[in-house]
Structure 1
Amino acid sequence: MSLPPVFDNLPASLRRQAEHYRQGLGEGPWGALEPEQQQRLNLLFAMSEFIGARLSRDGDWLPEFFRLLSQHLRHPQYRATLDEELARCQDEASAKRVLRRFRHRQMVVIAARDFLNLAPLDESLAHLSEMAQSLILAARDWLTEYLASRFGYPRSAAGERQPLLILGMGKLGGGELNFSSDIDLIFTYPENGTTDGPRQLDNQQYFIRMGQKLIGLLADVELEGFCFRVDMRLRPFGEAGPLAVSFDAIEDYYQEQGREWERYAMVKARAMGEGDQASALHTLLRPFIYRRYLDFSAIDALRRMKALIESQLRRSSLTDNIKLGRGGIREVEFVVQSHQLIRGGRQPALRRQPLMPVLAELARSNCISGRDHKRLLEGYRFLRRLENLLQALSDKQTQTLPDNPDDQLRLSLSLEFDSWEALRETLSRHMSNIHEVFRETIGGDEQEEEELGELPALWQHPDPDVSEILSAQGLDSELAEPLMRLRGEFARRTIGPRGRDTLDKLMPRLLGELAGQPGQSELLQRMMKVVATILTRTTYLELLLENPAARQQLVRLCAASPWIADQLAAYPILLDELIDPMQLYQVLPPDGYAASLREFLMRVPEEDLEQQMEALRQFKQISRLHIAAADVTGVLPVMKVSDHLTWLAEAIVEQVVQLAWNQLVVRHGLPSCAGDGKGFAVVAYGKMGGLELGYGSDLDLVFLHRADNGYTSGDKGIDNNHFYLKLAQRVLHLFSTRTLSGILYEVDMRLRPSGASGLLVSHIDRYDEYQRQEAWTWEHQALVRARMVFGEPAMVKRFNEIRESVLCLPRHEAQLNGQVREMREKMRDHLHKGSERLFDLKQGPGGITDIEFITQYLVLAHGHRLPQMSRWSDNVRILELALQLGLLSAEEADLLVHTYTEIRDTNHHRVLAGLSGLLPHSEKPEGCEAVAALWSRIFDKDHEKGE
């Protein structure tokens, strides 16, 4: 804190004011002060009429004032002092005197600490709020005992005592009360019933009477003034509603009749005191305030409220208002509370009343940029400090800058400016910054309306010159017919007035985004597939309407990939991800998927299995969208795309096993063999095993366990083998059950020991035995691409040992060559879909499968003398290792790796483009012919040599 100005340097007019209050104080109290105290008091008398008027009439209290002034109390003992003084009051008149004197004295201390730069803003706001809450609750509790002699205490039908709960609204609710603020309150109580005293009243009558008296204790103007102006208009039904209502009534009101502006107000609502009952009240109100989805309907309501304020400003000719003017305190509140209403349902950390911590959370979670956070926070802190000092000049409720030079000078000195002009310049900069952020958030865009030209009118009122209007807006004239047909289809849909209004505003903006895009007709068709899906889900229409960035990304992604367009249409929740382009194209690190999924699932109650299953599917879709977005924009190369899709699948496998495990352990207890782990493992084959998953890949899985012959520990115990069978069944159920978001993954179990006729889960010893003694060559080929993706370290180690030992078994090379070739020919006969005109990227000669079979053959043929060939499960690294070990020439290795990568890249992008793996021979990768020739050399030559 910097030093306050020196009294002797103040202008004569301010020193005269100080002299006036000093004379009012009298020589006795003044002379009892130390020189330093006199200097401080002189300065305070000069700076604030409120402080001067109060202290000059309260000389006996000066020693206590200076004691409080010098203390830095984080939590002043307001309530204890108040309770002690109120305990001596026998009537309402004496209680009013105690409350007012206490309020004025504490306000003098808070104001003095502000003017002397002894307190940071946060402390002043917290002390003002805490003092107000203490006054309110102390007055209520005094009234409870005061009324008890006549009415007794209110009780529920079960006889439990009922308190009056008081919701603090606005800045009181946020714990950031300003110096001369009204207090907005709502009175409620838990249950209906009657009082238990001589005169019985039903609880509502009693609490209405208590509420009236409480308002009088706080707001009646007496000789000593008043404590607070009390505003009750935010209660259910406003001024027409009862002063106090029960929890049931308040819940019914907000569920059935609550309006958007009431949601906005309720963001700040805080039940003061009462512990469990206050928590119950907040729980009751939360569904009304915070939707479970991202809720953009709030923005229109906020805009209407802002428009009302601006029209009031125009009508009243108010200027220099630091609260309601452009860039004022209210605009910061609008930005923060709009984000809370929109995102609070999905982000519990935003469900808080204080503004500044929520602002920090918005920056932390990337809802606003660091630059906007800095602008809003610095501007808000400056405005709030200025507001407090402005009101502390005379204890008046004002947010309008003063026009008299003395008050301007007081504010300039208090805020450490050399002049009023310098203060105004800084103030103007802060308010301009705030207004810019406000406009970007919810302020609307007049320029956008101009750029849309005649498109809004065209959509709502078809024009005979549709083609000309479209051309003038940079759109293809051929869109005229499909657009008008689309308009007719949408007009026949029942979507409600709010949805219709939103659609009519959204469609011209979407058309505007199409301008200048290639292939507009096809792109419009893809986009409208998404819009058609959300027609009856107004929240998503509003999301696109209110977020230009989301609209732009919708167009960009639909243009890049029909597959992404289909995903957005099938799962509209993915539209939430389009809001922030910076986040949309970011993918998680390798270990980030597991951590992020665990955090995602924490939002869902553990006992709600259906919601857990839905959350798993949503996380997969959201993550896959981010990967696809990074893919189509070139942020991720194809090899990395497969890596990310595989890491995502691994994270999901882990959570699915954990969910299944938890369910079975609750029912049956722990298997006796589990020890510190689970004794269960998941082995991935195929594309997941080889870290080569695609967007639509299924999972080839095998389940293993290490159970002994014991039993589980629960009341409904079963033998360990049966437990692991149930676990495998439960895992498959969680993967394959169709929820609103579809299935999680298709799971193929045919690679387990004995295939479809084998057990669903095998003991790891039996797996070892099967691989050594019974497995076919094609099963050992599959083992090349096998990898344990879930399991405790001991089982991972054991599986790796089994895999290595089996892959490194000595084999007759000619016999192996023939078996691999025969299996390839069978696959081609059954699975090849190519023709004279079309090439099959997977099964065609020189395609994916040929390269995979060559790779697997190299491992099985040479593993016995080169065991390092069994190290990897992915084709590219196996081929690179084969080059290092001299099993392939540089040209052969380069051909196989390059062609394999190119085919996968082509296949990936054909999936995103909504195309199959069949393409004209003229478009097939160049290396396929050479790979087919290499296949012939490896197998035919080796086969002949063996013969």
Structure 2
Amino acid sequence: MLTTLGRAGNADEALARMDNFLSRLPGGVQLFALLRNHEQLRTLLVQFMASAPRMAEAVIHRAHVVDGLIDPAFANDVTHRDVLVAKVDAFLGDARSYEELIDRARIIGQEQKFLIAAGLLSGTVSAAGAGEQFTALAETLLRRLFDRVQDEFAIRHGRIEGAKVALLGFGKMASGEMTFTSDLDFILLYDAPEIDSDGEKGLGPAHYFARLTQRLVAAVSAPTSEGVLYEADMRLRPSGNAGPLATSLAGFKAYHRDNAWTWEHLALSRARVIASTANFGAEVDAAIGKIMQRPRDLSKTIDDVLSMRALMTRERKPRHAFDLKLAAGGLVDLEFIAQSSQLVSGAAIDLPQAPTAKVLAQAGRIGLVPEGQRLAEIHGVYSTILQVMSSALISPFKEEAWSPAFKELLAQLAHYPDFDRLALDVAAMQAEVSAAAAAWYEKARSL
């Protein structure tokens, strides 16, 4: 153990964290035998203690998560969606009550997030694969909780005969790029006849689905003895925080036809139905398709995009040199290129509701954004950096969190020989993205 610690880039701090971990273990645990016999576990555990404070905290406060690292099926669990979903379903299936299901969702959610992050930091799973697995986990938990919330809600309020409902995901959940710390970004849409529900406390559709949404948000984000599962972000519903919690499909169509801002259509360009009743998801997709295909004043659309980006630059400044979401030439600029191209040339791109990298690559292939393929590659590098930062660091935008050991780990996982080379290349990539964005906006006005 000391030899392994000695090879860590942050040995003193790693030893202190390891001591904290060992001091919390119950007597009689045969951890040292495990560490002696499993070199990979020993190396991984020391790596967490030396370079990944978030993972170290998880191990220190939930020692049982180590069990998952020595399971022979570990690599299979963190790389295959169907295996992950089956594991979540089996664990939730043993819940004997609604309250136990809520707690079990938090237990399995935290454990699987830890294991996906461990797969990422050990090199077992790629950054893109980790994003897909984090998203599969979140989707599965949200769907199962939504099913059970509807059943629980119906005990008192009944159901509205003929009603249809869908959860529409936005942001990283929609694009399959969630990280360890991502929120759930979604809204609830419904279509229902104007009748009250058939329960003991009947409710009209607007009230019924607003209350149902409240229950779902609580199931996902309310703190219990097992912690919080996810924060829920519903600001992208029509009229934002001032609007109703649930929206009828007719209201959604009318809002996006008459009142929505351009930035709301940017967000809608990669929105995706996460769960739905019967064929209602297809109806929602068709509605989004019509919104995205409508004729636009190209010059005004680009002006709106540039105004939105300027506002973000003023009000949400980067907190660190590697705050690659907000930095000039960073992730937001890549997303705005892709999303605005969907608004002004969606028919030519022909990839409705696709994630950013796919849209950029396609825009490159058809000559719409000549640098598109290169921008997709840069998006991959940025995504890798942000995935590793999210999984490894508790405070990623504090300079003191960037220890030499973490920098070395980040460079390794981004496939760079050292951190200094990575930092130089990232700065060059930001300049490339900024130049490509300026050229695209100039071109887009005259398409």
Smaller-chain TM-score bracket: 0.7 to 0.9
Aligned to 2:110: 621
Aligned to 2:357: 876
Residue 809 in structure 1 maps to residue 300 in structure 2: no
Q: Which has the higher contact order (CA 8 A, sep 6+)?
A: 2
Contact 1:702 1:751 in 2 (8 A): yes
Pairs within 5 Å for 1:216-231: none
Letter in 2 for 1:666: I
Cα 1:619–1:875 change in 2 (3 A) is same
Aligned to 1:295: none
Contact 1:707 1:721 in 2 (8 A): no
The one of 741, 748, 751 equivalent to 2:233 is 748
Contact 1:817 1:857 in 2 (8 A): yes
Aligned to 2:63: 572
Query: Cα deviation per residue 1:830-853 (whole Å; 9 max; x = unaligned)?
Result: 111258xx3531111110001100
Cα 1:941–1:881 change in 2 (3 A) is closer
Pairs within 5 Å for 1:28-177: none
Aligned to 2:331: 848
Pairs within 5 Å for 1:537-576: 538=26, 542=29, 544-545=31-32, 547-548=34-35, 549=38, 553-559=44-50, 561-576=52-67
Contact 1:577 1:584 in 2 (8 A): no
Aligned to 1:691: 176
Aligned to 1:183: none
Letter in 2 for 1:547: L
Contact 1:841 1:917 in 2 (8 A): no
Letter in 1 for 2:11: Q
Aligned to 1:524: 15
Aligned to 2:124: 635
Cα 1:833–1:516 change in 2 (3 A) is closer
Cα 1:639–1:918 change in 2 (3 A) is farther
Aligned to 1:387: none
Letter in 1 for 2:379: Y
Contact 1:902 1:925 in 2 (8 A): no
Letter in 1 for 2:433: V
Give, in angstroms, the shift of residue 519 of structure 1: 3.1
Contact 2:170 2:185 in 1 (8 A): yes
Give, in angstroms, the shift of residue 654 of structure 1: 0.4
Query: Cα deviation per residue 1:15-64 (whole Å; 9 max; x = unaligned)?
Result: xxxxxxxxxxxxxxxxxxxxxxxxxxxxxxxxxxxxxxxxxxxxxxxxxx
Letter in 1 for 2:78: V
Aligned to 1:929: 431
Q: CA–CA distance in 1 between the matches of 2:175 and 2:134?
A: 12
Q: CA–CA distance in 2 between the matches of 1:671 and 1:595?
A: 31
Q: CA–CA distance in 2 between the matches of 1:556 and 1:581?
A: 20
Cα 1:815–1:697 change in 2 (3 A) is same
Query: Cα deviation per residue 1:529-558 (whole Å; 9 max; x = unaligned)?
Result: 4335x35xx27x615255334656533443
Residue 904 in structure 1 maps to residue 387 in structure 2: no
Cα 1:926–1:529 change in 2 (3 A) is farther
Contact 1:557 1:565 in 2 (8 A): yes
Give, in angstroms, the shift of residue 672 of structure 1: 1.5
Give, in angstroms, the shift of residue 596 of structure 1: 2.1
Cα 1:651–1:842 change in 2 (3 A) is same
Give, in angstroms, the shift of residue 895 of structure 1: 2.1
The one of 335, 338, 344 equivalent to 1:861 is 344
Q: Structure 2: state its 5+ residue gaps.
A: 400-419
The one of 749, 756, 763 equivalent to 2:248 is 763
Give, in angstroms, the shift of residue 810 of structure 1: 1.1
Aligned to 2:208: 723
Query: Cα deviation per residue 1:569-589 (whole Å; 9 max; x = unaligned)?
Result: 343342332342552674252
Contact 1:673 1:710 in 2 (8 A): no
Q: CA–CA distance in 1 between the matches of 2:8 and 2:168?
A: 46
Report % sequence identity: 27
Aligned to 1:599: 90
Letter in 2 for 1:734: A
Cα 1:515–1:581 change in 2 (3 A) is farther
Residue 792 in structure 1 maps to residue 277 in structure 2: yes
Cα 1:793–1:558 change in 2 (3 A) is farther
Residue 647 in structure 1 maps to residue 130 in structure 2: no
Contact 1:903 1:925 in 2 (8 A): no
Cα 1:588–1:612 change in 2 (3 A) is farther
Superposed CA RMSD: 2.6
Secondary structure at 1:591 match in 2? helix
Aligned to 2:396: 916
Moved more, 717-726 or 746-755: 717-726
Letter in 1 for 2:330: G
Moved beyond 4 Å, runs of 4+: 510-513, 515-518, 550-553, 917-923, 940-943
Give, in angstroms, the shift of residue 629 of structure 1: 1.7
Pairs within 5 Å for 1:371-520: 511=2, 514=5, 516-520=7-11
Moved more, 772-781 or 626-635: 626-635
Aligned to 2:219: 734
The one of 670, 686, 692 equivalent to 2:159 is 670
Contact 1:839 1:918 in 2 (8 A): no
Contact 1:584 1:626 in 2 (8 A): no
Letter in 2 for 1:938: W
Q: CA–CA distance in 1 between the matches of 2:298 and 2:387?
A: 35
Q: CA–CA distance in 2 between the matches of 1:901 and 1:894?
A: 11
Q: CA–CA distance in 2 between the matches of 1:600 and 1:553?
A: 26
Q: CA–CA distance in 2 between the matches of 1:880 and 1:747?
A: 31
Query: Cα deviation per residue 1:814-844 (whole Å; 9 max; x = unaligned)?
Result: 1111110010000111111258xx3531111
Letter in 2 for 1:813: L
Contact 2:158 2:200 in 1 (8 A): yes
Structure having the higher Rg:
1
Aligned to 2:415: none
Q: Structure 1: state its 5+ residue gaps.
A: 1-509
Secondary structure at 2:166 match in 1? strand
Give, in angstroms, the shift of residue 523 of structure 1: 1.4
Give, in angstroms, the shift of residue 806 of structure 1: 0.8
Aligned length: 420
Give, in angstroms, the shift of residue 904 of structure 1: 1.1
Q: CA–CA distance in 1 between the matches of 2:33 and 2:175?
A: 43
Q: CA–CA distance in 1 between the matches of 2:9 and 2:348?
A: 54
Contact 2:186 2:234 in 1 (8 A): yes
Give, in angstroms, the shift of residue 513 of structure 1: 5.6
Secondary structure at 2:340 match in 1? helix
Q: CA–CA distance in 1 between the matches of 2:356 and 2:331?
A: 10
Letter in 2 for 1:935: A
Letter in 2 for 1:522: E
Cα 1:723–1:737 change in 2 (3 A) is same
Contact 1:705 1:724 in 2 (8 A): yes
Contact 1:661 1:727 in 2 (8 A): yes
Contact 2:44 2:122 in 1 (8 A): no
Letter in 2 for 1:866: A
Aligned to 1:712: 197
Contact 2:257 2:291 in 1 (8 A): yes
TM-score by length of 1: 0.42
Give, in angstroms, the shift of residue 590 of structure 1: 2.5
Q: CA–CA distance in 2 between the matches of 1:925 and 1:565?
A: 30
